[in-house]
Amino acid sequence: MDMPVIVLVASFTVLIVFNVPVAFCMGISTVLAILTMGGLPAFVAVAHGMATGIDSFALLAIPFFVLSGLLMAHGGIARRLIDFANVLVGQFRGGLAFVNILTCMLFGAIAGSSTAALSGVGGFMIPVMNKFGYNREFSTSVTITASTTGLLIPPSNVMIVYSLATGGAVSIAALFMAGYLPGILMGAGLMAVSAWTSIRNNYGKGESFAFKGAVMSFLRALPPLFLVIIIIGGILSGWFTPTEASAIAVLYALILALVVYREVKVSDLPRILLQCGITTAVVFLLIGTSMAMSWVLASERVPQDIGAALLGASGNKVVLLLLISAILLIVGCFMDMTPAILIFTPIFLPIVEQLGVHPLHFGIIMIMNLCIGLCTPPVGTCLFLGCSVGGTTVTKVIRYIVPFFIAMVVTLLITIYVPGISMWLPGKLGLVK
């Protein structure tokens, strides 16, 4: 291993151990590595890499989707989706757990954010589940894991990031379509665990959590659900690009929140816009610094070296995907999704493509792996936010969340072994090359 790579990895690891924010870890370690390489002005090279890394029209979709998700979260959308989900699945044993999961899936299909689902759905559902006799840690575990389905069910910001990391080899529209069936499959797996736990603990027996009129619940939920048709239908029909769709989503969400439901006031908009700006700044800083780091890795031929090592370990694509998944599960424990996708996609994608794995299929596998990482310590964003929303601690939740981890891993394995789960819908729509 060359000295610049040793410096890059060592400095990055030390900074992570000292709890330095990931974006700064990548930026500082990249500067040190370039200084070791010599011949280049390190700070200028990193600044140039960051600037070119975020210079993409497709990335404009991220702040728009973030803003639309925040407007949905503050605009009373979650409560209307909960009412609708309750009509569909609320009468079964453990029905409130099903309502929680289904609402997170529906909310994810609108907002595309796991944190928005945790706050919007969990803030309402966890207290209600506790009121009807569900264990607090179980309710929190359901919400934490279900919130990640919104990263698979489009629109999804991480899919936009993955498309960028592939250099546009995979279209955003194809990724959006590829995420539906794996997202539904993951939701079904979480529901199976919820049903098993509810039966064992007698949760939900005789619960009377019902809302007036299935038709009225559906009509109240129809306006936010119609946003899915606008975004996905518009992209597939060619009426607008994903970036343009994100801007339309903001306009639609603003009309719902301000005019239709009137749960967001004009005076609330500066606070929401500031929150959107902060979130977007964090994401773009991560993208910029990871692009600079990726340049160092590429110049030192790290992807080729890792590829040769992995291909030497096994030439079977399923075994290789399992090995890469194990690495990504470990990475997900320590790194957030955006930098992980930007750093490891250029490393792993050329390897799996040599064995005939489609980049679209690999993208879904990668996102599913990192979704599990959001629920695992020590970094797990969803785990810590969910515990905060649920009013409990990570130590107490771990025992209850393990069965949900197992369900998510099983869903991942099924997706690896059956590529058609992610490839079938894009293929039917003619989005796969």
Q: Are residues 39 and 147 in the same domain?
A: no
Whether residue 385 sits in one domain with residue 278: yes
- Along the 433 residues of the chain, how does pLDDT read in single tens digits? 578 888 888 888 888 788 788 788 888 888 888 888 776 677 777 888 788 777 777 788 888 888 887 887 777 777 777 777 777 766 677 788 888 898 888 877 776 677 777 777 887 788 888 887 888 999 999 999 998 998 898 888 889 889 988 887 888 889 999 999 999 999 999 999 999 998 888 886 644 545 456 677 777 778 887 887 888 888 887 788 888 888 888 898 888 888 888 888 888 899 989 988 888 888 888 888 888 887 787 777 777 777 778 777 777 888 899 999 998 988 887 777 888 888 888 889 988 888 889 999 999 999 999 999 888 877 677 888 888 888 888 888 988 999 999 999 999 999 999 999 999 999 888 887 6
State how many domains the chain has. 2
**Separation in Å, CA 87 to CA 2, 180, 193, 414:** 60, 22, 21, 30
Element (H, E) at 354: helix 337-354
Residue from 96, 353, 111, 370 nearest 225 by CA: 111
Joined tokens for residue 7: 């410096």
Mean pLDDT score of the chain: 83
- Is 433 a domain residue? no
- Are residues 250 and 64 in contact, defined by beta-carbon separation less than 8 angstroms? yes
161 and 270 within one domain: yes
Query: Measured between alpha carbons, how far is 151 from 204 in angstroms, rounded to an integer?
Result: 28
Q: Cα(142)–Cα(401) distance, rounded to whole angstroms?
A: 8
What global pTM score does this model have? 0.84
Is 213 a domain residue? yes
Residue 205: strand, helix, or coil: coil
Give the pLDDT of residue 239.
85
Where is 273: in which H helix or E strand?
A: helix 269-299
**Amino acid letter for position 398:** I
Residues 220 and 164: their CA atoms lie apart, in Å, by 36
Is 351 among the domain residues?
yes
Amino acid in the structure at residue 395 = T
Tell me, yes or no, whether 14 and 65 share the same domain: no
Query: 281-306: b or e for each residue (b if 16 or more CB lie within 10 Å)?
Result: eebbbbbbbbbbbbbbbeebebbeeb
Structural domain of 222: 54-428
> What are the backbone dihedrals phi and psi of residue 77, each rounded to the nearest 5 degrees, phi first?
-70, -40
Same domain, 23 and 79: no
